[in-house]
Structure 1
Amino acid sequence: MRIKFSFVCIIGLSIALIGCDGGPPEANAVNCSGKGMEKALTAFRNNETERQAFIDKCDALNKEG
């Protein structure tokens, strides 16, 4: 019984974590500075237009603040 419960919990957590991959990162204060920018840009390594749009949004955020 315990093994079945553990197995069901592992499957449930795996499905939940797979669902957390919500797509490309948003331009915000964390993703537009330092290590956040570095990690965010790796998500756009195959799409230059989306990468440039992200950088432009970060520039706009930095000018506002």
Structure 2
Amino acid sequence: MKSKYIVFIIVLSGALTSCGGDKAPEANSTNCSGIGMQAVLPTFDNEAERQAFIDKCHAMTEK
């Protein structure tokens, strides 16, 4: 029983570690909403990536 918990913790730790990364967030309806955009924009490292994300959000809203 105890070994199951250890395996679970190892798998969960690996999954959570792989979730992070330098991948830019995708432009979707949640991230492009007002509050979502306020949370996402500070995560970008450079202005070009930030502007590309904003452009994708504007393109989504124009459809």
Task: Give the TM-score band, short-chain normalised.
Answer: 0.7 to 0.9
Partner of 2:37: 37
Whichever of the two has the greater Rg, that structure is: 1
Give secondary structure in 1 for the equivalent of 2:32: coil
Identical-pair percentage = 53
Give the equivalent residue in structure 2 for 1:27. Answer: 27
Query: Which amino acid in structure 1 is aligned with residue 48 of structure 2?
Result: T
In structure 2, give the amino acid aligned to 1:61: M
- Normalised by the length of structure 1, the TM-score is 0.77
1:30-52 CA deviation, whole Å, 9 max, x = no partner? 110121111211221x2110000
Partner of 2:57: 58
Q: Which runs of 5+ in 2 are unaligned?
A: none
Paired residues in the alignment total 62
In 2, Cα distance between the equivalents of 1:29 and 1:5? 38
Query: d(CA) in 1 for partners of 2:27 and 2:48?
Result: 15
Q: Secondary structure at the match of 1:52?
A: helix
TM-score by length of 2: 0.79
Unaligned runs of 5+ in 1: none
Rounded to whole Å, the distance in 2 between the matches of 1:36 and 1:15 is 27
Instruction: Map Cα deviations across residues 2-42 of structure 1 (whole Å, 9 max, x no partner).
Output: 44432222111100111223621111111101211112112
